[in-house]
Structure 1
């Protein structure tokens, strides 16, 4: 097992810009992200920071804008690589797969924003590329959503993604538990679609 920590889009847009993270509270999730980065550094786990970059005319994450810049606490910490992306997944046309392969990484821990968008997309791609994935439940976060399909609070969005991730794609864990596993050099139990579908299988068809 050779871990890396990927810190996705911890940028000012999610704190002082147009998309303030609502759940978990952004200052709490930021504190968890920083704890994970510090623990990774102490234990030789490479940290890859990802930054979402949009054209200068974009209303969000416009290149060169204050919202596009990394949060200072993240920018000021040590990390191995900075990856710029233009789509939700950190693997899309970024060279991240080759970068991780060069580091010998087989297990990728996901932290950052937003839970259901860039975090989930990256985690799913990592799973399909053969990585074991760890998803830090309190070091990720999101905003409320409302559109033609309906509406959900930030908490509902976040918790739903965690359940889906744990069902098949990633081992969902708290930051503190992840740090314990990193320090002990132990894996976190993998998800099981069989276990997660037990309730459905036990419900008689009507």
Structure 2
């Protein structure tokens, strides 16, 4: 089944902002590994940036809005797009692009587990795709209510129960 890799909100301002993502360097290394594997197997890569309103730290064009340079994404071969809602499918054309590429399996990675990862996994399933949440390639920050690891574990359990198939980075083979 044709697959694609979807990288969500791995942006300078979110990753290197005032709050540190939980286990960020390991998550980034896992995503870089998946990018290399996708390139090797000619699997399309989609990367989305969350765009905040004018004047926000992640307003379009701002330095913090940019995708992490360490990802080494290439606008010539990768599909880079923007969103303004947690759901990467909302008003972006992503579903049409994935359908045109005949993608069934959608590997989902990035930030933040409880917002955009959650919304996008659910929307992918509702849109007829087969989301695979890479359990060790998404992250978030601690909150006043819960530590990040508890948030990640909860979302792996919840999303893996009904909306996505869980897979670890080491087990992905495109």
Superposition TM-score, scaled by structure 1 size: 0.80
- Describe the superposition over 1:1-52 as per-residue Cα deviations: whole angstroms up to 9, x where unpaired: 1111101111112232134212xx1010000000001101101111001111
Which stretches of structure 1, 4 residues or more, deviate above 3 A after TM superposition? 75-79
Distance 1:43 1:13 in 2: 30
Gaps of 5+ in 1: 183-206
Gaps of 5+ in 2: none
Q: Which moved more, 1:155-164 or 1:64-73?
A: 64-73
Tell me how far apart the structure 2 counterparts of residues 171 and 12 of structure 1 sit (CA, whole Å): 28
Partner of 1:126: 124
Counterpart selection for 1:117 from 94, 115, 119: 115
Q: Which residue of 1 aligns with 2:156?
A: 162
Q: Compare CA radii of gyration and give the structure with the larger one.
A: 1
SS of 1:87's equivalent in the other structure is: coil
Equivalent in the alignment of 1:193: none
**Greater RCO, 1 or 2 (C-alpha within 8 Å, sep 6+):** 2
- Distance (Å, rounded) in 2 between the aligned partners of 1:90 and 1:28: 23
By how many angstroms is 1:74 displaced? 1.7
Separation (CA, whole Å) in 1 of partners of 2:14 and 2:72: 15
> Aligned equivalents of 1:7 and 1:94: distance in 2?
14
Superposed CA offset, 1:36-78 (max 9, x none): 01101101111001111112212x4222222111100124457
Partner of 1:69: 66
State the partner residue of 2:20. Answer: 20
